[in-house]
Amino acid sequence: MHDPASPTARDEIATAAIRLIGDADAGDLLRALTPERLAQASDRSASSVRYHFGGDDSSGSGTYAFQRRDLALAILAVAAAARVAAAEEATAGYHAAALGLRDDVDMQGLYAAIADGLLPFLPGPAGAQAAAQERVHHLGLAICDTDASAARLLREAREQQVATFVPATHAALLATDREMVPGRTVEELGDTVCALLDGHLQRLRYDPGAPSDGVNAAVVSIFATFTRPRGGEGFDPVGAIRGD
């Protein structure tokens, strides 16, 4: 038995909590969402909630047992669709910025489009609903390693999100008279930029004033690395680091 006053007691309790969270499934993480609370929030009856998110209980009584995993997958699907929709709305800004790349040599139009594209996912008037759905996205990330259905939903949403950037990327290639480096694809470029922006978006949630200069420069660098002047040579980042 540890001394309650021991400096390590809090750490050991916290470590145990982390272990329990790691073992938790969707039902455990959504335990606060009871049929009654959901009924009140959705203006439905608790029995209706159990009907739509339930199955026969183990007693064979024919009644419905509330299935929180079904609810988790349903809200994850809604949140994933909202993410894709927000990406589609941002496409117009990215496309306009791409068309202006030849004349906008300081890239300010592109940087503004990146900032505008992130706004719907952040807390505040512009993204009150999407910000809540981003929490659900993180819930999906918390369970996807042990829930194949959650992982599938996240993969499909990412593929759709990346697909929305393809037309803007083609416009950027045309405006800058560049082409993809052999072995690289437009989809791979979009996926890489999305991964970068996902990380920046996470930081902005807890550090809203975080600078974006480095992220903007990284987006340009990714584009420069994955593409080359049409008919010319591509940029070799490894060679540049080595001084070749």
| Whether pLDDT at 174 is above 80 | yes
For the stretch 44-90, pLDDT in tens is 998 898 888 886 555 444 456 788 888 889 989 988 888 888 888 88
The model carries a pTM of 0.78
**Dist. CA 47–CA 35, nearest whole Å:** 8
Residue 131 is predicted with a pLDDT of: 64
For the stretch 229-244, pLDDT in tens is 998 887 777 777 777 6
* Residue 59 C-beta-side C-alpha neighbours within 13 Å: 5
Question: Is the separation of the CB atoms in 212 and 111 below 8 Å?
Answer: yes
Residue 147 is predicted with a pLDDT of: 92
**Dist. CA 30–CA 42, nearest whole Å:** 16
For the stretch 121-159, pLDDT in tens is 776 655 556 567 778 888 898 889 989 999 999 999 999
For the stretch 23-48, pLDDT in tens is 888 888 888 888 899 899 999 998 89
* Nearest residue to 49 via CA among 22, 26, 67: 67
